Amino acid sequence: TAARFLPPLPERTIPALREAASGCTACPLHLTGTQTVFGEGPERAPLMLVGEQPGDKEDLAGRPFVGPAGQLLDRALVDAGIDRAQVYVTNTVKHFKWVQKGRRRIHEKPGRLEIVACVPWLESEIAAVTPTGIVCLGATAATALISRDFKVTQDRGEILATPYAGWIMGTIHPSALLRIEDPAMAEAGYARFVSDLVKAQERLA
Ligand code: URA
């Protein structure tokens, strides 16, 4: 796992972790990903958002949530009254996993081994940032940090106890909202996502 790439304990600041993660070869995804996409945000943030893995745009930019899902997330944060600049945003897996389809790189879900290999980075980010609350965006983050039995449909929006922070919540991934074709369903799904974020925000005060 990535544990062997971690800097010594007293030096695990976000910049030191980002630097160390840039050379991580703990799983095969470093061979096909353009670069490690580390988390970003204040080094002490009350709220941490955890996604799945960088997408195509994030892989090229080297920053989390800057593509279509990131734009939807940005809009939802604004609608929830949350300033993204105050939030630490990261992913469960730090490299983009993809398959070629024609000229496009299509996202593939990270597997258990890649998640387990990468999770020392996420755990170290949590330890450095010491957030009050963690919101898991989608099943990958929620199963990595909350429970392998976490079901977004059943368990989303619940404020749960965790050893990682004051509380943790899982909700839908913004990419899942982008895949809803029916406009009314998409709008309802978006509204529910915003209300989960509002609930998280209210728990910070
Ligand atoms: N989806 C994610 O889970 N993370 C990103 O950074 C972008 C898309």
Helix axes 183-202, 68-79, angle to 10 degrees: 60
**205, pLDDT greater than 80:** no
User: For the chain, give me the number of helices (H) and strands (E)?
Assistant: 9, 6
Q: Is the CB of 39 under 6 A from ligand 1?
A: no
Residue 33 Cβ < 6 Å to ligand 1: no
pLDDT digits (tens, 9 = 90+) for 9-41: 999 999 999 999 999 999 999 999 999 999 999
Any domain includes 205: no
Q: Which domain holds residue 192?
A: 2-200
The percent of residues above 70 in pLDDT, for the chain, comes to 100
In a domain, 126, yes or no: yes
Q: What's the pTM value of the predicted model, to 2 decimals?
A: 0.98
CATH number of the domain residue 181 falls in: 3.40.470.10
Report if residue 129 sits inside a domain: yes
Torsion of CA 92, 138, 75, 182, to 10 degrees: 150
Residue 58 lies in a domain: yes
Coil/strand/helix, residue 86: helix
Distance (Å) from CA 193 to ligand 1 centroid: 16
ipTM over 0.90: yes
In short, whether 143's Cβ falls inside 6 Å of ligand 1 is no
CB 20, CB 106: distance < 8 Å: no
The total domain count for the chain is: 1
36 lines ligand 1 (CB under 6 A): no
Q: Is residue 144 part of a domain?
A: yes
pLDDT in tens, 45-86: 999 999 999 999 999 999 999 999 999 999 999 999 999 999
